[in-house]
Amino acid sequence: MEFGIFDHLDRGQDDLTAHYEDRLRLTEAYDAAGFYAYHLAEHHATPLGMAPSPGIFLSAVAQRTRRLRFGPMVYCLPLYHPIRLLEEICMLDQISGGRLELGVGRGISPIEVGYFGLDHETAPAIYREALDLILAGLAAGRTGADLDFAGAHYQINGMPVTLAPRQQPHPPLWYGLSHPDSTVWAAQNAVNIITNRDEAGSRQITDRYRQEWRNLGQAEKTLPRMGMSRHIVIAETETEALDIARRAYGIWRTSFYLLWDRHGMKPINVHFPESLDELAAMGQAIVGTPDQVGEEIRRQAAASGINYFLCRFAFGDISYDEAKQSVDLFARHIATV
C-alpha cells in the first residue's frame, strides 16, 4: 500500500503569508518522508479552502520539492475555460519534471458553483465536455496538430497547441467519488479514485472497481490507485494527540460547514459529526501514538480494500510543529512497516 496526503489548505491562522509558508514547509517534509503525492482541494468563498487557484500554490510546491508528486483534488472544471486550464496543466507538468497528478471534477458545492453564475444542474454536462476538450488538447499537443472541438458549450477551430505535458499520454487522472456506480467510468478510463466514505462504503467502491477492472480483462497488478482519506494526528502519547486533534477538528469543521449553514443546506454525500471523538468512532479520524495509529490504518486498509491511504495531517489550527511531529512519527514507525 502507498501513502499520500490530502489537504484542504483550510484557514488555521490569521497571517495568510505565514500560513502558506507553513504548508509549503510541510510539503518539503512530505517529500523527505517519501509520501507518493500531495492532493490539494479547490474551494471558493470559504475558509475551508485558501487555495482557490490550486495551480498557483502547486507551482510553489513544484519548486520546494524534488520527488513528491502533486495535483489538484480536484480542478472544478466548470469554473475554468478548458483552454486556459489545458495550458496550466502542461506548464505545471513541465515545471515539475512530470510530477503532476490531474484530479478533475464538477465541483461538489452548488453554493460555490452558484457564485460563478453557474447552475449546479448543468455543471455535470459542462464538466464532461470540458474534460473531453482538455484531453483532446493534450493529444494535440503531443502530435503537433491543430485543435478542433465542437461542443454544446465550447467550440474551438484550428487552434495551434504550443504546449504539451511532460508525461505521456497525459498526467494520471484522479476522481473523487462516493457511489460504487461511479467506478464504471473510472475503470473504463483507468482513473485513480479517492473517497471519504467509511469502511463499509469504501469497500463497496473498491469491490465494484475491481469487478469493473476484471470485466475489462485487466490484471489486478495493473489496478489504478484506490484511495481513502482520514484525519490523522500522531504524538508520543495518546493524550497529547487527542488534545491536538480535538482542538483543531472543531475549527476545521466550522470552516467545512460555514457556507452550508449560511445557506441552510446540508453537504452532499458527506457528514462530519460535531466532535472529534464521534469522528474517530466512525473510523474517519485516527488519533494516538504511532503504534495505535499504525494498527488502525492497517486494519482499515484491509477492511476497505484500498491500495492507497491519504493522510490529513494539517487541519484547523494545527501548527507546523504539530503537523511535522505527526509526519515524522508516521515516517519513522508506520510507513516502513
For 132-179, write each residue's pLDDT tens digit. 999 999 999 989 899 999 999 999 999 999 999 999 999 999 999 999
**Ordered domains of the chain (ranges, CATH):** 2-333 (3.20.20.30)
Q: What is the CB-side half-sphere exposure of residue 111 using CA atoms within 13 A?
A: 17
Q: Compute, in degrees rounded to 10, the torsion defined by CA atoms 179, 226, 268, 244.
A: 140
Q: Quote the pLDDT of residue 268.
A: 84
Give the residue from 180, 140, 181, 131 showing the smallest Cα distance to 158: 140
Q: Quote the pLDDT of residue 269.
A: 82
For 76-114, write each residue's pLDDT tens digit. 999 999 999 999 999 999 999 999 999 999 988 999 999
The DSSP bridge partners found for residue 228 are 195, 309
Indicate yes or no: pTM above 0.85.
Answer: yes
Question: What does the alpha-carbon distance between residue 147 and residue 139 come to, in Å, rounded to a whole number?
Answer: 9
CB 92 within 8 A of CB 102: no
Cα 301 to Cα 159, 215, 226, 294, distances in angstroms: 46, 24, 11, 11
Q: Quote the pLDDT of residue 270.
A: 86
Q: Quote the pLDDT of residue 233.
A: 98
SS3 assignment for the chain:
CEEEEEECCCCCCCCHHHHHHHHHHHHHHHHHHCCCEEEECCCCCCCCCCCCCHHHHHHHHHHHCCCCEEEECCEEHHHCCHHHHHHHHHHHHHHCCCCECEEEECCCCHHHHHHCCCCCCCHHHHHHHHHHHHHHHHHHHHHCCCEEEECCCCEEEEECCCCCCCCCCCCCEEEECCCHHHHHHHHHCCCEEEECCCHHHHHHHHHHHHHHHHHCCCCHHHCCCEEEEEEEEECCCHHHHHHHHHHHHHHHHHHHHHHHHHCCCCCCCCCCCCCHHHHHHCCCEEEECHHHHHHHHHHHHHHHCCCEEEEECCCCCCCHHHHHHHHHHHHHHCCCC
The separation between CA 333 and the C-alpha centre of its own chain, rounded to angstroms, equals: 24
Ranges under pLDDT 50 in the chain = none
Q: Quote the pLDDT of residue 257.
A: 97
Question: What does the alpha-carbon distance between residue 38 and residue 101 come to, in Å, rounded to a whole number?
Answer: 9
Cell numbers for 1: 500500500
Q: Quote the pLDDT of residue 120.
A: 84
Q: Quote the pLDDT of residue 322.
A: 98
Cell numbers for 133: 476538450
Question: What does the alpha-carbon distance between residue 130 and residue 136 come to, in Å, rounded to a whole number?
Answer: 10
